[in-house]
Structure 1
Amino acid sequence: MDIRHIRYFLEITRQGSISKAAKVLQMTQPPLSASLKNLEDELGVRLLDRTARGITPTRAGRLLLEKGARLVDETEHLTQELMRQGQGLSGSLHLAVILPFAWAYLPRVLGRFREASPGTDISLTDVNPGNVIEQIRNGNLDVAIVATGSASRLQTMYQDDTRVELISKLGISPVLPTRFKDAPKTIPLQDLMGETWLLPMPSLRLPGMTEMLVDFWLAQGLPLPSIKPVTSLQTTLPLVAADLGISIMPPEIQQIARTTIVTRKIDPPIPPMEIAAVWSTAREPSEVATKFIEVLVGPRAART
């Protein structure tokens, strides 16, 4: 059955006559009559009785009226959904975020994306930094947002099948236990080098905060401090609050844990982390992923 013929049949029954239905459908009466006859011939059953009072559906016509209305509604819904998917307005997005406390940057991005693609189902994953590139390569993730010391260095490492685009920079500050609450607003870096630094485990696959700090310390001519690896920066707050070490995070963390930790500036300041979007160039990104990349870095980068 042609869904168009079913639509015509439904309109004829609604209007009670072929001539009225033709006016509503903005077509002439002969092709509408022909469409109804073709539908009845195809099904081998009469759908409408023509009486002096007008047109009324037969028993088969009443069944088509009930089932056909649902079929037309479902078809229209499917058509709209497919069109929205093609425009990147709905579907699913598998996103990973490797950030020092993702809420320092991610909420603004997701807010803009929700306006551009309100029907998208977003899956947010916190994966091990060492595995994020592999997850991008094998298609488990559409896009990753990572914090690194150098986006250009990361692009050089994975230039064969991965795109890395710098999208922002994120300032970071020392996070200290409350015994520093009376310390000056700016502390000399040298004064913190005797502390134990709680930092993520270094990763050869994704150079991040720890690698950046080591380069920074060496550039200042300082010996490396004691470093205690942690699984993620999110796990360090209780350790810092317990005076088991210090760390670095976006200064916004002070607003979340203002009674248990202290943030200060240091001299010389730590360079900001570079926030980069990462996606595969080995396959065509989905329409939804393309829309998200456009929100992050602009239309041109999403299609090159």
Structure 2
Amino acid sequence: MDIRHLTYFIEVSRFESFTRAADYLYVTQPTISKMIKNLEEELGVELFDRSRKKLVLTDAGRAIYAKAETIVKASENLKTELDDLIGLQRGHIRIGLPPILDAERVIRILGEFHDLHPHITFELIENGTKRIEEDILKENLDVGIAVLPTEEEEFHTFSFIQEELGVVVPLSHPLANRKRIDLQELEHENFITFNKDFALYERIHDACRQAGFQPKTVSESSQWDFIGKMITSGLGISILPYSVAALLKEEVRVIKVRNPVLDWNVALIWRKNHYLSYATKEWLRFTQERLIENTSD
């Protein structure tokens, strides 16, 4: 039994005629008669009393008719919902964003996408890269923005930001007039860093250990503006991307790091070999396209 069997049965019942139902459904009368006969044989009952001039439903036919209407209607509703999803008339996308990121570019692209697909809704969740990766794997997020490297076997990536990190100090700091600094020279400084949920935490700590010292961390935060305030209050220094340091309204100085040069690479990430909704796939396609255009401008 399939939906066609039930659809043909409903129309024959409605028109009380095989011929008129066949005309309505644009099939031949023998075709619809055969479909009804197959349905009766499968169910083991007669659906119509054929002894009269017009077709009349049997008791079994009347019982099945009510159920058939419900099933066919549900099938039609399901098809409409699928058509809406495929046509991007519905959908919800959950996106993980690191609070360290200047999200203006991403928000602008979201706005452009919303103009094209106003029925797609978004949920933006701020977290560090590690948490974003975990939430994608746990299916709490559909896509995220993260600092590379990430687990290559788990995630597709699309890199769109590559830039250096700089040492951020208050103007009153003895190093404030330096243009460049070796990382080893910061051995005795107090560090203010992002917390352990952020990829930059490990990036900075690993680089310091390679330079021969363990950074002395006096404070951790998940918010770049708090870090800026702590720097200007004299609590310590930090190492931040130049784009993030430029957002600090406080008076600070950014100094280029060498030996080693520190950088970061930011990318869209989404899970490999995993289902993505039509809305998410279209948002990824659109966003990558717009990011490429912005880079080439």
Distance 1:62 1:96, change over 3 A: same
Q: Which residue of 2 aligns with 1:293?
A: 284
Distance 1:272 1:13, change over 3 A: farther
Q: CA shift at 1:29, angstroms?
A: 0.8
- TM-superposition CA deviations, 1:22-44 (whole Å, max 9, x none): 11211111111222222233333
Distance 1:5 1:136, change over 3 A: closer
Q: Which residue of 1 aligns with 2:292?
A: none
Query: Which letter maps to 2:276?
Result: E
Q: How does 1:116-195 map to 2 (within 5 A)?
A: 124-133=124-133, 136=136, 141-146=141-146, 148=147, 151=148, 154=149, 158-159=151-152, 161-168=154-161, 190=177
**Secondary structure of 1:22's match?**
helix
**Secondary structure of 1:207's match?**
helix
Report the identity percentage: 23
Q: Is 2:223 aligned against 1:230?
A: no
1 CA distance for matches of 2:196 and 2:284?
27
2 CA distance for matches of 1:22 and 1:115?
45
The partner residue of 1:275 within 266, 277, 283 is 266
Query: Which letter maps to 1:69?
Result: E
Q: Is 2:76 aligned against 1:76?
A: yes
**Secondary structure of 1:276's match?**
strand
Q: Which residue of 2 aligns with 1:200?
A: 194
Q: Are the equivalent residues in 2 in contact too, given 1:88–1:287 (CA < 8 A)?
A: no
2 CA distance for matches of 1:165 and 1:85?
25
- CA RMSD across the alignment: 5.4
Q: Are the equivalent residues in 1 in contact too, given 2:221–2:227 (CA < 8 A)?
A: no
TM-score, reference length from structure 1? 0.57
Q: CA shift at 1:97, angstroms?
A: 1.9
2 CA distance for matches of 1:103 and 1:93?
17
Q: CA shift at 1:5, angstroms?
A: 0.9
2 CA distance for matches of 1:119 and 1:68?
32
Q: Could you list the runs of 5+ residues in structure 2 that have no partner in the other structure? A: 179-189, 290-297
Q: How does 1:21-170 map to 2 (within 5 A)?
A: 21-49=21-49, 51-52=52-53, 54-79=54-79, 95-100=95-100, 104-111=104-111, 124-133=124-133, 136=136, 141-146=141-146, 148=147, 151=148, 154=149, 158-159=151-152, 161-168=154-161
2 CA distance for matches of 1:39 and 1:130?
56
| Higher deviation after alignment, 79-88 or 285-294 | 79-88
Number of aligned residue pairs: give it: 260
2 CA distance for matches of 1:285 and 1:170?
30
Q: How does 1:234-253 map to 2 (within 5 A)?
A: 236=226
Distance 1:56 1:269, change over 3 A: farther
TM-score, reference length from structure 2? 0.58
**Secondary structure of 1:287's match?**
coil
2 CA distance for matches of 1:68 and 1:118?
36
Q: Are the equivalent residues in 1 in contact too, given 2:193–2:201 (CA < 8 A)?
A: no
- TM-superposition CA deviations, 1:91-113 (whole Å, max 9, x none): 77554222336753443444466
Query: Which letter maps to 2:143?
Result: V
